[in-house]
Amino acid sequence: MGFVGKAAERRSTRQIMVGAVPVGGGAPVTVQSMTITKTADVEGTLAQIYALAGAGADIVRCTCNESAAAEGLAQIVPRSPVPIVADIHHQYLMALAALDAGVHCLRLNPGNIRRPEHIKLVAQEARDRKVPIRIGVNAGSLDPKLYEKHGGATPEALVESARIELAYFEEVGFDDVKISVKASNVPLMIEAYRMLADVTDHPLHLGVTEAGPPPAGLIKSTAGLATLLAEGIGDTIRYSLTADPVEEARAGRQLLEAMGLRERKGLDLIACPSCGRAEIDVIKVARDAQEAFEGRNLPIQVAVMGCVVNGPGEAREADLGIAAGRKRGHLFVKGKVVRVVPEDEMVSALVEEAERLVAEGVEARLAAADEGAAAEAEADRLALLEEQGADANATAQRVELINKRFDAG
């Protein structure tokens, strides 16, 4: 019998909730990635979010650098299968707009937003809405005063930057926080996280920033992440690669599985969170599908979507999926509808098609698509749009709130 090891004992931390995903406090280490689309491109961004979720991302970050991005977030959040973090750059008003948009978490860089009154205002708003914040310290954008004080971007400087920001939060009674102290230099990053782990019990987000393209970027990131995880440090991770972000999510998942920190699984089943368009109990159908696939060990990505208006497009990167609408299910392969089935046959049709897909391949299943399925699906989609309108999630109200904030500013 070969050696069977076990993962290092995890550092004890407090727990925060990013949407429905726990971070810290003994929860499984989570995988994060970031979209590279323009956030204002709602459909393109959602398609990438679904691809990331299918590749193993538990949480996805989107940039919020302009009012159009905040408006995009208001439409993206209710349709995302995973919690959304808004990445805030230099403008604190963007953080407030992202909160108006309903995001599940903010990421603030202390080196970019420096005025205490702005930092505390954002923390107050986040506190009142029960939205956590990541203090995202970065060696490349350290406050010049700290850079000068410590003679460079040292581990001590990075940790002090995080603690200063944390103190501002504490002044307004906000402690729903996770922290990162990233650097592109691996030894610097490792030492900074070790120092931070000694002085706080907040959950830590690990990453080697600007690691570069694979394979070098994968090696650098893995060196930093694996070292700390092996020491029990780290509650959520991101590979920062110059590549398709799906590679980041996939690498993160594989690393955690390799280290015994996440369970291995063949099937990746993703599902939308349900929203104003959903015509079925998405949670129940997803649960039924999970049970139906149990033990089949099919190495594919399967999506369960609540509506036919957005579902096939959002989950087009999944190998297979089904979307509900007008008492029927639209079965799709790589985003293309291949069959329309009665609602009560959705799960059984999904399992049947999955087995055929694994046995025959994508091209064969696309070639075997039912004639007229695409036309039927389009008719259902248009009928639902006519019944529900273009704004079934009432995002126009959030967009109006965002616009009022910028008009007032």
The domain spanning residue 349 has which CATH number? 3.30.413.10
Answer yes or no: do 235 and 307 share one domain: no
Helix (H) or strand (E) holding 271: strand 268-271
Q: Is residue 8 part of a domain?
A: no
Answer yes or no: do 143 and 273 share one domain: no
Please say whether the dihedral angle defined by the alpha carbons of residues 142, 147, 153 and 156, taken in this order, is positive or negative: negative
- 8-state DSSP, 10: P
Answer yes or no: do 81 and 46 share one domain: yes
Q: Is residue 400 part of a domain?
A: no
Give residue 1's pLDDT band: very low, low, confident or very high (50, 70, 90). very low
Identify the domain boundary among 200, 234, 258: 258
CA distance 354 to 334: 12
Answer yes or no: do 155 and 281 share one domain: no
Tokens linked to 155: 């581990």
Answer yes or no: do 34 and 133 share one domain: yes
Asked if 11 contacts 233 with a C-beta cutoff of 8 angstroms, the reply is yes
CA distance 279 to 143: 50
Q: Where are the alpha helices (DSSP H) in 12-154?
A: 42-55, 67-76, 92-101, 116-129, 144-150
Answer yes or no: do 241 and 282 share one domain: no
Answer yes or no: do 237 and 118 share one domain: yes
Q: pLDDT tens for residues 140-173?
A: 999 999 999 999 999 999 999 999 999 999 999 9
Question: Is the pLDDT assigned to residue 206 strictly greater than 70?
Answer: yes
Residues 6 or more apart whose CB falls under 8 angstroms from that of 83 comprise 18, 19, 20, 21, 58, 59, 60, 104, 105
Task: Work out the widest C-alpha separation in the chain, in whole angstroms.
Answer: 70
Answer yes or no: do 145 and 228 share one domain: yes
CA 201-257-4 angle, 5° bins: 100
Residues 6 or more apart whose CB falls under 8 angstroms from that of 392 comprise 275, 276, 277, 309
The rounded percent of the chain whose pLDDT value lies above 70 is 98
Q: pLDDT tens for residues 240-276?
A: 999 999 999 999 999 999 999 998 777 888 998 888 8
Answer yes or no: do 148 and 291 share one domain: no
Q: How many CA atoms lie within 13 A of 11 on its CB side?
A: 26
Asked if 104 contacts 78 with a C-beta cutoff of 8 angstroms, the reply is no
Give residue 105's pLDDT band: very low, low, confident or very high (50, 70, 90). very high
Beta bridge partners of 108: 135
Which own/partner pairs from 368-375 qualify as long-range (CB within 8 Å, at least 24 positions apart)?
368/338, 369/333, 369/336, 369/337, 369/338, 369/339, 370/338, 370/339, 370/340, 373/330, 373/337, 373/338, 373/339, 373/340, 374/336, 374/337
Distance of alpha carbon 266 from its chain centroid, rounded? 21
Q: What is the pTM of this model?
A: 0.90
What is the domain extent for residue 167?
15-258
CA distance 399 to 404: 9
Instruction: List the end-to-end C-alpha distance of the chain, in Å, as a whole number.
Output: 67
Asked if 135 contacts 110 with a C-beta cutoff of 8 angstroms, the reply is yes
Output phi, psi for 339, to 5 deg: -160, 150
Question: Is the pLDDT assigned to residue 195 strictly greater than 90?
Answer: yes
Answer yes or no: do 254 and 277 share one domain: no
Q: pLDDT tens for residues 53-65?
A: 989 999 999 999 9
CA distance 333 to 318: 8
Q: pLDDT tens for residues 211-249?
A: 999 999 999 999 999 999 999 999 999 999 999 999 999
CA distance 209 to 201: 22
Question: Based on the structure, what is the number of domains in the chain?
Answer: 2
CATH number, position 95: 3.20.20.20
Residue 52: burial class (beta carbons within 10 Å; 0-12, 13-18, 19+): buried
In the numeric block, the tokens 């089935």 are attached to 341
Tokens linked to 342: 């009665």
Mode of pairing for the β-strands spanning 15-18 and 21-24: antiparallel
Residues 6 or more apart whose CB falls under 8 angstroms from that of 322 comprise 303, 304, 305, 329, 330, 331, 332, 346, 349, 350
Q: Which amino acid is at 77?
A: V
Answer yes or no: do 217 and 339 share one domain: no
Answer yes or no: do 22 and 144 share one domain: yes
The rounded percent of the chain whose pLDDT value lies above 90 is 80
CA distance 161 to 64: 22
Q: Which pLDDT value is given to residue 2? A: 44
- How far apart, in Å, are the Cα atoms of 308 and each of 285, 324, 387? 15, 6, 13
Residue 68: burial class (beta carbons within 10 Å; 0-12, 13-18, 19+): middle
